[in-house]
Each structure stands twice: as C-alpha cells, then as structure tokens.
Homo-oligomer: A and B are copies of this chain.
C-alpha cells in the first residue's frame, strides 16, 4: 500500500496513513483527491482497493477504472442490483481490470477441492451443503462494522445474504464448477427492529440437477466465521471448513476417509501455488486474501489468473441478493435464477 483515503477528516486520514507507515502527503480525504494527486506522481498508485460500506462501491469503482486503475472491490459489488447493472457496463468497457474479494476462494484447499471435482474425484455432484453461521449480530454490539451492515442506506438491499451469503454462494459455485439455476429463499430479520435479513435459509438446484442448501446466519450465538462446504458426488465426498482451513476431508467411494492437509504431497498445481509454508505450518485468512491479490497482480500484468473472481462472479452475487430478498419477502416459492 502506498497511499489511501482513510477519512474525510484530514487528521484522521493522516493518522490512518501513519498506521501503515505511509507519508502524510499520500493520506487523502477523498478518492477524487487521491486519484488526482496520484496520477500526477511518477510513482502513483496502480491499483485501488475499495473497502468502504456497500453504498460507496459503485462510485468508487467507476472512478478508479475511469482513472485507469485496476480495482479490487469488496463484495457485494454494490448495494443494489440496479446499481450493479449500471456499473457492470462501465466495468466491461474499462481497460483496467476489476476483481471482487471472494476471499475464501483463495484458500489452497478450497482450490484443491475445486480441482479434484473438476478431475472427477467424486464423480457427478449430487448434493451441496454450504453453511456460514456467525453470531456477532445476535445482539447489537454497537460497533461501526455492525451499524452500516444493518442499515439499508449503507448496506443496500441485503443484510446477511449480502454480507456473507454471497461468500457461501460463490464458494459453492467456485468449488463445484456448477451454477445455481433455481432456488427457494427464506430470509428473515430475526432481531426485532431490523430492516435487513440477519438469517438466510436457501434451497438450491444446480445446472446439473444437483440439490443444495445454503444456510447463512449472523444470529447464531457463539459461531465465529463458520463457513463450511460439503459436496457429495456419486463416487465420493469433500468437506472443508474455513476455520480449520488446512484440512480437507475426502470421502472415497469405497468407504475410506482421507484427511488432506495444506502442503501435502501430490496436491494440485493450484493448491501448491497458493501455499507458502511447509505442511503443518498453518496458513490462514490473510494468506488466502494475499492469494487473491497475487492473482490480481498477474491479471494486471496480463498473465493468466483463471481463479480470480471478476465481474461475472460479482454480478451473480448481486443477482442472488436481489432475488433472494424478493422471493422470500413475497413468498414466491421456487424461483428460477438466471444469475
């Protein structure tokens, strides 16, 4: 990181910059100021990370791309689907690349699972269970992080579905290589007084006919960040959980249960590339994130980075939020999902 707009307040922004040991001259009070000043520098920024509340995403991404900057945007792409559709055009026309931080797809063993399924290790996928329980919004913890996520003005149309449901959704499609084509949505604001969902239950159908369930929750007291994906084929099964990310369970068709660990011999090239340390030296969330950044660096340099989530993944997430919220609210039953 070489520069940042850390706050609208000059002092706060400078303090933010100091945290990262950046010179105060590169602490800005707005994205426009940042872009203008950095463009004038020979060593100006090449890449922009958008990590604001959702309602600012569209403007920031558009400004970044317009300035020729590569942009890594937090998920969801925007607060609402119409915003996203408008932004999508700008993205597709831009010369600079966009990536979306579906971080969990950066874990070595999530990539290993994907590769194994693609290679037929579990046969035809029949059933997918993806869950993502958290408990931090079971009450109101009074934090800024909670406040903007609970407010439609800053979060957009979705609460839990937009904050973590799209992660679960992306991971399921990423690992299986399948696409959701139909769903049933049951969203609710469990905590009284909330305008946005804090608990989501979705039933899924994939394009090969596989069945699935997606359970995401932010009121599951005691759960930290329990993203877990289980996939069952006609010849095997896989089970991976984010909180124990260096373990991947592989159920063989003949009944054997194998525990695959990050760094094991014989893992796929994708998993190896995403691994920094020898087996038994745990890697975590920051390394997964770094793998997305590394992929993005490749993309920026014009190299191949097929696993990096881009505008298509971003738009599928937005479509999911939009459809799930509406279908649940209107009790529409099973609905087709175009993505």
Chain A residues packing against B (C-beta within 8 Å): 122, 126-127, 129, 131, 133-136, 138-139, 184, 186, 188, 190, 199, 201, 203, 211, 213, 215, 217, 219-226, 230, 232-237, 239, 242-246, 249, 251-261, 263-266, 276-287, 331, 333-334
A-B contacts, 9 of them at CB < 8 A, read: A127-B219, A184-B186, A201-B213, A219-B232, A220-B230, A222-B252, A223-B251, A242-B280, A276-B286
> In the complex, A334→B328 CA distance in Å?
11
> In the complex, A225→B184 CA distance in Å?
27
**Assembly of this chain: how many copies?**
4
Residue numbers in B under 8 Å from A283 (CB-CB): 284-286
* Chain A interface main SS type: loop
> In the complex, A284→B186 CA distance in Å?
36
Which B residue's beta carbon lies closest to that of A249? B222
- Pick the contact of A223: B131, B237, B260 (CB < 8 A): B237
Residue from the set A122, A127, A199, A225 with the largest chain B CB neighbour count within 10 Å = A127
Complex contact A286–B280 (CB within 8 A) = no
Known contacts A186-B203, A220-B230, A222-B237; 8 further A-B pairs (Cβ under 8 A): A122-B221, A201-B211, A221-B235, A242-B282, A246-B284, A255-B266, A256-B264, A258-B259
